[in-house]
Structure 1
Amino acid sequence: MANAPDAPTPNPEKDPEDWTTGDEPITGPQASYLQTLCQEAGEEFDPGLTKAQASARIDELQERTGRGR
């Protein structure tokens, strides 16, 4: 019986501060989800965030709202 090839290893998560595109403006999907999280958490939405800042804010608000579980 031949051995099956190894499954590809998933990409490890990279810290948003290390993203090469992290200083680009927030994406549409990030903005939409972040607006939802901000509403649920009673926080203001900042449309001027970068991709990296938005990702960090999403992580923070997911934790606070319970959506990250």
Structure 2
Amino acid sequence: MADQTSADSGNKIKDPADWTTGEEPATGAQESYLHTLATEAHEEVPEDLTKADASRMIDELQEKTGRGR
């Protein structure tokens, strides 16, 4: 039987600053969702966001729009 602590440690959410792919361009899914959230929040989405920046902006706009987790 697997140790629950070991299993849980693999499911922790990493800070976007620690992502190995964080400096890559935002994905299409991130950009699409960002534009949906930005429209609801009456915000602008900057061009050329990285994956990490897009993730942080999604978190901020989810909080602002009430779509947060």
In structure 2, list runs of 5 or more residues that go unmatched.
none
Q: Which runs of 5+ in 1 are unaligned?
A: none
Query: How big is each residue's C-alpha offset from its partner over 1:28-68, in whole Å with a ceiling of 9 and x where there is no partner?
Result: 00000000010000011123100000000000000000011
Is the 8 Å Cα contact of residues 31 and 47 (structure 1) preserved in structure 2? no
Q: Deviation above 3 Å: which 4+ runs of structure 1?
A: 5-8
Match in the other structure for 2:65: 65
- Report the RMSD for the aligned CA atoms in angstroms: 1.3
How is 1:10-21 mapped onto 2 (pairs within 5 angstroms)? 11-21=11-21
Structure 2 distance, partners of 1:46, 1:32, is 13
Identity %: 62
- Once residues 26 and 68 of structure 1 are traced to their aligned partners in structure 2, the CA distance between those partners, rounded to angstroms, is 20
Q: Which residue of 2 aligns with 1:24?
A: 24
**What TM-score comes out, normalization by structure 1 length?**
0.85
Select the structure of larger CA radius of gyration.
1
